[in-house]
Structure 1
């Protein structure tokens, strides 16, 4: 795969964007999650580049993109604004395919809800719809337990702890969600380099701090979350929607998919056996083949 990179001025921030495929081919924008960067999609990009123009930005706070100071700068409206600016540059006149994993899925959902006419197809790989995830956190004890790490990442001392011993805890976090056979020494070195970028650790952690998600402690009784008070039609994704779900995900449990069809009337769910939360690394050809079939029909 021949990669090229562009720096996109999104107004408040500059985004580093990896590109593959012919510029005039149908556009697919791929959004990574935590604690990754654009290369989370690298193997999938390589498999799609013959048919599509694939763009994978470092989202704000990550790797070589801007890292604005302050938690407020990582609210979802700003993350969606970054994507909207990039999409308007790369595909100003026609809808495009939007794909997201983990936190990238959250941005993809938010953009698809705000700009449904701009998204021809929505692909989510082990990511969650915000209403479905919030309900799972409030109502399902297993998902609540699985998400307790969020409190650790929101803590004031998270940067100090995660950077100790050459990012030992961040490495362990990746490896803790699966066997992580893909996470070899070369990839660990590349990821450490992204985490060492000035301001990157705080920028990436601010995604968690800025999120309105309510994550109750185990056994805590709480029935309120702001998002559940909002009209459900605000969270609709009317375009064709594919969810690719690694069945061995230990961070996001299958309960997170319950009720998704209420928001996505054109939903397809493809479960992938033998894949974890890191499905993009473990099964990139499976992900790419499923995306190609879904997009091209």
Structure 2
């Protein structure tokens, strides 16, 4: 699958953001939003399968890679992360565009769809979660609460030093090695480490976790004092595709229960033999799910 990748750095609201592109610049835009601990280049396995249909645009999000990385935790509030990508859509012509988010990138993708619906034509999420079902699951004290305990470790002051020690040994083990399954080649791992090693980046990457208001119950100790959420403002009104690698052990199926209440035009697709890193492990299947869901034709990657 051949699709040449191009790179550039643009200014959004006066700050630099690094972008990667695949496909014809005049094609419809697919905005690809990575999660932790990836960067825009993490879409390199999937984007070539979609570049005949889309102009794939993958930014290093705030705090990652070669993009702007302010030091303060408060600079990573969801509203600011969403604002970055709204500015990017504006710089590309104003939308609406198709948005694809994975992991933390899904949080930004949902934010765009909920709070800037005029910018989002269609929403695709790959192993990512809407804030309400996810908060409910993490607060219940059950399996998702247990699976999410690692977030408390990542929020600790100094966590970046622990993750960076011994050539990022713990970071690789926590997030990539246990799911490796052959996709994480030596060259790809070296590219990840080069991005993590940029000055201060690991701290600013972790600030996404520190800035999040989501709360996690201890296993067996449900939280009963959650604040009321503005449920009507947290709806996805555009067509929504959720693609799920069934072997994910960090995000469990219960974290998406009730999603239909917030996304009435929802389609679910399960990818067997994949886990949290489905876009690396099964890029052709993920691309086929996306292309088959689109309203025009049944192209295959």
TM-score by length of 2: 0.95
SS at match of 1:108: helix
Supply the distance in 1 between the matched residues of 2:177 and 2:144 (Cα, whole angstroms). 16
2:77 aligns with 75
1:174 aligns with 175
SS at match of 2:176: helix
Distance 1:243 1:135, change over 3 A: same
**Is residue 113 of structure 2 the alignment partner of residue 112 of structure 1?**
yes
Deviation (angstroms), 1:89: 1.1
Q: Larger deviation: 171-180 or 116-125?
A: 171-180
SS at match of 2:99: strand
Listed as ranges, the matches of 1:202-221 within 5 Å are 202-221=203-222
Contact 1:20 1:45 in 2 (8 A): yes
Supply the distance in 1 between the matched residues of 2:6 and 2:163 (Cα, whole angstroms). 31
Deviation (angstroms), 1:11: 1.5
CA RMSD of aligned residues (A): 1.2
SS at match of 2:114: helix
Deviation (angstroms), 1:140: 4.9
Supply the distance in 2 between the matched residues of 1:112 and 1:250 (Cα, whole angstroms). 26
**Residue segments in structure 2 that go unaligned for 5+ positions in a row:** 297-301
Contact 1:177 1:251 in 2 (8 A): no
Contact 1:44 1:288 in 2 (8 A): yes
Would you say how many aligned residue pairs link Structure 1 and Structure 2? 294
TM-score by length of 1: 0.96
Deviation (angstroms), 1:95: 1.2
Contact 1:213 1:225 in 2 (8 A): no
1:86 aligns with 88
1:9-68: CA deviation from partner (whole Å, max 9, x where unpaired)? 111531101011111101100000000001221121111111110100000111111110
Q: Larger deviation: 242-251 or 166-175?
A: 166-175
2:45 aligns with 43
Distance 1:91 1:225, change over 3 A: farther
1:116-157: CA deviation from partner (whole Å, max 9, x where unpaired)? 122111000000000010000012511011000001100012
Supply the distance in 2 between the matched residues of 1:185 and 1:268 (Cα, whole angstroms). 36
Distance 1:23 1:99, change over 3 A: same
Listed as ranges, the matches of 1:1-297 within 5 Å are 1-11=3-13, 13-92=15-94, 94-175=95-176, 177-226=178-227, 229-297=228-296
Q: Larger deviation: 52-61 or 40-49?
A: 40-49
Supply the distance in 2 between the matched residues of 1:152 and 1:52 (Cα, whole angstroms). 38
